[in-house]
Structure 1
Amino acid sequence: MITVEHLSKRYGDFVAVDDVSFVCKPGRVTGFLGPNGAGKSTTMRIIAGLTPPTSGSATISGVPYRDIPNPATQVGVLLDASAQHAGRSGKETLRLSAMTMGLPASRVDEVLTMVGLTPSESSRRVRNYSLGMRQRLGIANALLGNPQILILDEPVNGLDPAGIHWMRMLLRDYANRGGTVLLSSHLLHELEIIADDLIVIGNGRIVAHGPKDELLAGVGTRVRSGDDAKLGRALAAAGFTLRDAEDGGFHVEAEPEQVGRVALDNQVPLIELRAGDNTGLEAMFLQLTAQTQREPINQGAI
């Protein structure tokens, strides 16, 4: 289990992580998401013992990473697939890791097979690897010590659709066997498929966390009216984020009572008004991080 309590990290006057607390449980995949610069990577680096916190704590099964004996046998970490020695072959990279951990050489072949790197590919220099191959090698390194916890930052970058599916199945099976997974990704669709729990961070602070199904249930409001164009303009003017629904009307990032009040004030007759069904992780993400996005969010057709 990963436990983060009141974690903060400052760089001078800049606060990268601000009083962050969460728990990642065994047997579950925890998706960690937020806009660029929100504090995800800094938090993961602190958990993995690479960056000291300014205050608070991050522990693995109750122990800071730096105090775990032979930590790679307890925690598998992949934070940057490009940070691998370019002059070594993939197999040499894993052999050195295995020697450091005191593992038999046979474990190297096992994980190479597990991640789908062929003998020919594992004999190549890492400088000649594609990004997808580097990701597979990084995952192999993370799995080498047969750890109970995985911490992965953007592990599907560079993978083709088949590779993404493979990664999804690998992590799902790992969690189903009792492992703990903390997974950061910008591919919201993948997190929506694989994650059991979600942590959303913005400007260094947690803005939402909990079971995925609970967070996504009833996101926003579904509304249709007798004059959708007028209603769209009114909702946008009121500052609500909305997007067109396939069968007319809108999905609105607001409570039904708020949407109904705008319609009433603008004398727009409503055909449908209800709490939104699961409108998806993207809608929830945009709603929760609207104040921390670099790009302006479309407020709907006006």
Structure 2
Amino acid sequence: MIKVKGLTRAYGSFIAVDDISFECRPGTVTGFLGPNGAGKTTTMRVMVGLTPATHGDVTIGGLHYRDIPNPGRHVGVLLDASAQHAGRTGREVLEIGARTMGLPGVRVDEMLDLVSLDGREAKRRVRNYSLGMRQRLGIAHALLGDPSVLILDEPANGLDPAGIRWMRGLLKGYADQGGTVFLSSHLLHEVEQIADEMILIGNGRIVARGTRDELLRDATGGVFTTLVTALDNHQLAEALTERGLVVHQAGEGLRVTAEPVDVGRIAADKQIVLTDLRAGHEGGLEDLFLELTAETQRDVLPNDMSADEVRA
């Protein structure tokens, strides 16, 4: 369990993190989302004792990080995959960590296997690793002590699509076994696929939090829509209308004011074959994210400039 209460971190007159509070429960993945410079990394540095809080408190399992005995056995941390000793081999990095934590050497081999770094790669010096390989090594080090809590800053950074899918499965499986996962990212679509709860931060303040469905409900005003296409759209439209749903033509399919599961059930009841079924509010979370963190977004066109003018 991670508890953050009234956390503030100031650098002179600049407030990097402004009075934030939240909890991360065992068995869940919590996504910490925000633009670059929103306060994510500062918050995580305070969590693990690298940066002192100006005000407020952070505890992990009821203790401050500095008071946790042999903390690597309880909290796995990855804040910067590029901060590993460039002159050591991947295996040496893990062996030093294992000795520091009092772990058997076999644990190193287990972690190398877990993150798919083979024997040849493990013998290479970290300076010769790609960013994705450093990320895998960093995750291996975070998991080395079999901790109950993981704190990861941008863990998907540098991973290829297969690596990102692997990481999602790894972290979800870790949480399913009772672990607490807290990960930051500016990649909304990646986090929403695995996070049980998401916390959105902008300008150092929490601007929204909740499950994916709760955030979508806020983003859409509680109105859900579905895009659906069937072999017989006319038959499907009649079936949906009979159930009192609002149906409109949308390209080659239909837009329905209902959730996908409800549309699917009606189609199944009428034995109507569907060729496409998806949420019609897929941009809802992204729109909410951009709206709530607009003041800290860097990549915004001036109000009087169009995309065509930029291309020109």
1:217/1:278 contact within 8 Å kept = no
Equivalents in 2 of 1:52, 1:96: separation in Å?
27
Structure 1 residue runs of 4+, over 3 Å off? 276-280, 297-301
Given the alignment of the two structures, is residue 173 of structure 1 paired with residue 188 of structure 2, yes or no? no
Equivalents in 1 of 2:62, 2:164: separation in Å?
32
1:218/1:278 contact within 8 Å kept = no
Shift of 1:41: 0.3
Shift of 1:218: 5.1
Distance 1:65 1:214, change over 3 A: same
Equivalents in 2 of 1:214, 1:295: separation in Å?
27
Equivalents in 2 of 1:151, 1:75: separation in Å?
7
| RMSD, matched Cα | 2.0
Equivalents in 2 of 1:31, 1:295: separation in Å?
22
- Comparing 212-221 and 125-134, the one that deviates more: 212-221
Given the alignment of the two structures, is residue 293 of structure 1 paired with residue 297 of structure 2, yes or no? yes
Q: What TM-score do the two structures reach when normalised by structure 1?
A: 0.79
Can you give the 5+ residue segments of structure 1 that lack an aligned partner in the other structure? 223-245, 248-275
Q: Secondary structure at the match of 2:159?
A: coil
Shift of 1:188: 1.4
Q: Percent identity?
A: 66
The code of the aligned residue for 2:297 comes to Q
- Correspondence for 2:283 among 275, 279, 285: 279
What's the counterpart of residue 237 of structure 1? Answer: none
Shift of 1:206: 0.6
Equivalents in 1 of 2:11, 2:118: separation in Å?
43
Q: What TM-score do the two structures reach when normalised by structure 2?
A: 0.77
Q: Secondary structure at the match of 1:219?
A: helix
Q: Secondary structure at the match of 1:137?
A: helix
Equivalent residue pairs, number: 251
Q: What does residue range 42-81 of structure 1 map to in structure 2 within 5 Å?
A: 42-81=42-81
The code of the aligned residue for 1:216 comes to L
Equivalents in 1 of 2:92, 2:142: separation in Å?
15
1:219/1:279 contact within 8 Å kept = no
1:216/1:279 contact within 8 Å kept = no
The code of the aligned residue for 1:168 comes to R
Equivalents in 2 of 1:195, 1:110: separation in Å?
26
Q: What does residue range 60-139 of structure 1 map to in structure 2 within 5 Å?
A: 60-139=60-139
What's the counterpart of residue 220 of structure 2? Answer: 220
1:200/1:208 contact within 8 Å kept = yes
Equivalents in 1 of 2:282, 2:88: separation in Å?
47
Distance 1:124 1:92, change over 3 A: same
1:74-110 C-alpha deviation (Å, 9 max, x unpaired): 0000000000001100000000000000000000000
The code of the aligned residue for 1:156 comes to A
Q: Secondary structure at the match of 2:53?
A: coil
Equivalents in 2 of 1:208, 1:297: separation in Å?
24
Q: Secondary structure at the match of 2:19?
A: strand
1:199/1:206 contact within 8 Å kept = yes
Equivalents in 1 of 2:65, 2:73: separation in Å?
12
Equivalents in 2 of 1:125, 1:194: separation in Å?
32
